[in-house]
Structure 1
Amino acid sequence: MKLFNRMPAEVRTAVAPTDRVLTYAGGPDGYVIATDRALYLGGTRLPWFQVERGVWDEQGLTVVTTAGESHRALLPEPGRIPEAVRERVTASILVNQYAPLDARGGVRLVARKADDDRVIWEFVFDAGLDPADPGLRALAEQALEEIRRSFGV
């Protein structure tokens, strides 16, 4: 309970009541807070299942979401935030499987566990493939069904 007692009030009030703070770090734009359910960046709550990846450099963190949005936080002293981001994003992924579709390429099928225990599937098509192509989409859906049966998800 020491973390909670020493935690700044701004951190405590920034997180949802259902979220448990794992670690936090302050920067010039405010706090970056990693909880068991989400990452808080500049007032934005990003549930872990929506975080594709975190990229670090000497000045801070850039987070890319599964929707392709990018969020940046300056963190000259990140503390344990990098480890928390890596661990929580990895923990949200249930399945990450590549499936070839045709001679042009394939699709990566990723299942992520949402906050409410739903499983959310994501299709990541190879570069140059049109995700809106009905034929490719049908092949991807077929591959998804096979993977779901195989993994029981």
Structure 2
Amino acid sequence: MKLFNRTPAQVRAAVAPTDRVLTYAEGPDGYVVATDRALYLGETRLPWFRIDRGVWDEEGLTVVTTEGQTYRAPLPEPGRVPEAVRERVTASIVVSQYAPLDARGGVRLVARRTDEDLMVWEFVFDAGMDPEDPGLRALAEQALEETRRSFGV
């Protein structure tokens, strides 16, 4: 037991036992907690490798996931939460490589490290490109294989 643990019991109770609290801030909708493995927005746990970006403004924190979902947390006093979000999301990215595909544009190939130390890859196609187009998917898969070989991952 730590003698000087100043993390409120509510914050410790809100996170998974395997997660270590790095920083937190209290907002009108509850606590926002950054741990070594995830960001907690109230009842929602977002692993770092699933967060595409976090944007801070004077009203609070907006987080966009790699699946395109948006979460908003009002935080009048954010403390170190924005800094922790930026650092942890950046640290989850192992590879980010742009590959031109054809005359219409290209794809960004992004590898992120999961909590289990595995890698997940995602394709981020240029605006106006159809990610469901089988021809584009085949070109992107080929670019992914070349990128994996060149980075050794």
TM interval, shorter chain, is: over 0.9
TM-score, with length taken from structure 2: 0.97
Q: Give the structure 2 partner of residue 143 of structure 1.
A: 143
Does residue 14 of structure 2 align to residue 14 of structure 1?
Answer: yes
Q: Give the structure 2 partner of residue 32 of structure 1.
A: 32
Shift of 1:6: 1.1
Aligned pairs for 1:1-153 within 5 A: 5-153=5-153
Shift of 1:10: 0.6
Instruction: Identify unmatched segments of 5+ residues in structure 2.
Output: none
2:138 is paired with a residue whose SS is helix
CA distance in 1: counterparts of 2:72 and 2:134, whole angstroms: 35
Percentage identity across paired residues of the two chains: 80
CA distance in 2: counterparts of 1:63 and 1:102, whole angstroms: 31
CA distance in 2: counterparts of 1:53 and 1:152, whole angstroms: 26
1:115 is paired with a residue whose SS is coil
Instruction: Identify unmatched segments of 5+ residues in structure 1.
Output: none
CA distance in 1: counterparts of 2:68 and 2:100, whole angstroms: 23
Shift of 1:7: 1.0
CA distance in 1: counterparts of 2:139 and 2:16, whole angstroms: 40
> Which residue identity does 1:105 align to in structure 2?
G
CA-atom RMSD in angstroms = 1.0
CA distance in 2: counterparts of 1:2 and 1:118, whole angstroms: 35
- How many residues get paired? 152
2:128 is paired with a residue whose SS is coil
1:6 is paired with a residue whose SS is coil
Deviating above 3 A after TM superposition, structure 1's stretches of 4 or more consecutive aligned residues are none
Shift of 1:43: 1.0
> Which residue identity does 1:118 align to in structure 2?
L
CA distance in 2: counterparts of 1:115 and 1:6, whole angstroms: 26
> Which residue identity does 1:83 align to in structure 2?
E
Shift of 1:2: 6.8
> Which residue identity does 1:119 align to in structure 2?
M
